[in-house]
Copies of this chain bind each other. A is one copy, B any other.
Amino acid sequence: MSKIKIAVDAMGGDFAPLNDVSGAIIAAEEKQNELEIFLVGKENLINEEILKHKVSLKNITVINADETVTMKDSPTESLRSKPNSSISVGLDLVKQRKADAFISAGNTGAVMTASILKLGRIKGVGRPTIGSLFPTDQGRTMVFDVGASVDCKAVHLLEFAIMGSIYMKYVHGIEKPSIGLLSVGEEKSKGDILTIEAHELLEKSGLNFIGNVEGRDVLRGKADIIVCDGFTGNVILKFAESVLDVMKSKFKAYSEKGFFHKLWVGVMYGTLKNVVLKDFDYQEYGGVPLLGVDGVSIIGHGKSSPIAIKNMIYKAEDMVRSGVNEKIRQELNKDGN
């Protein structure tokens, strides 16, 4: 098996370079024959971090990048103003085919924008898309798009469904993923102009399209994939993430009412965490793919743990090995499209 080369943004996320380096080291150790990892970022900081681990791994190389995009930087501006950021340098490795994939837990908007601009779109793709996993009764639903493409035409929602299906099949092992179209009612006639048109296209697509789904169906596992424009998807994703925060802050306020309240919340918390909170903890899912760009780019949560980083690296490996992008290219260029 040939080694897959993965560029890891060592400066990405709230715990950089600690978690990025730790995650990369775990991955490099577990897969010494399968992976070649480039840790991209401030050389001295990365080396310091590596030293702490007291391991010597031949499949890790440090690539210097002098600048760092912070969570506060504007995505588009940072691309111009910080040409030597770990994000830019890492993506350039992919562009030059020196690396097969890039993963980052950094500024989501910046990674997304830089990926689209540097790698370009796969031929036949009108709009790239970023997917996000939501917990459901039965497992997981992946919503495309959650923010890569906010203004969409119906054909773009169809593209999301096609790309999402290929991704779910080859990376998540779901043979014929079911697809729901997010709308305001179940009937075909319900929706805005965009979704009514997209419904038509999806019906004729040959995909496993199950029809419209509603906001209430996202957490109910009605479909493996739910497609919507990136505006709506982004709003629900951020709303969903906030539910956990709101609940946590309510428990905190309650526990601050006094010692017994605190004790009681402490006693309940273990169960609560296992029963509901865990599923709503979107940080647990590791990275999400940006599909439609000509190269593999996986974006992770700013709070990614070393394990999350490791999982992002493995996800990138899966995407490269299964040739997801090549399959997207083929599918979107059928019938001389």
A: residues with CB less than 8 A from B are 74, 109, 137, 147, 150-151, 182-185, 187, 191-193, 195, 214-220, 228-232, 234-243, 245-247, 249-251, 254, 264, 268, 271-272, 275-276, 279
Shortest beta-carbon distance from A226 to chain B in Å: 10
Residue among A137, A185, A193, A264 having the largest count of chain B Cβ atoms under 10 Å: A185
A268 contact from B187, B220, B271, Cβ within 8 A: B271
A238 contact from B214, B237, B243, Cβ within 8 A: B214
CA distance A147 to B215 in the complex (A): 12
A182 neighbours in B (Cβ, 8 Å): 235
Shortest beta-carbon distance from A276 to chain B in Å: 5
- State how many copies of this chain the complex holds: 2
CA distance A74 to B230 in the complex (A): 29
CA distance A240 to B242 in the complex (A): 11
Interface SS, A side? helix
A193 neighbours in B (Cβ, 8 Å): 151
Q: A231-B232, A243-B243 are in contact. Are A237 and B251 (CB under 8 A)?
A: no
A184 neighbours in B (Cβ, 8 Å): 147, 150, 230-231, 234-235
Q: A150-B191, A251-B276, A275-B250 are in contact. Are A219 and B242 (CB under 8 A)?
A: yes
Q: A184-B147, A184-B150, A235-B182 are in contact. Are A215 and B242 (CB under 8 A)?
A: yes
CA distance A314 to B271 in the complex (A): 41
CA distance A234 to B249 in the complex (A): 26
- Show 18 residue pairs from A and B whose CB-CB distance is below 8 angstroms, ordered by the A residue: A74-B187, A137-B246, A150-B184, A151-B192, A182-B235, A191-B231, A192-B229, A215-B236, A216-B239, A216-B241, A216-B245, A218-B242, A228-B235, A235-B235, A243-B243, A246-B276, A254-B275, A264-B271
Nearest chain B residue, comparing its CB with the CB of A280: B243
A230 neighbours in B (Cβ, 8 Å): 184
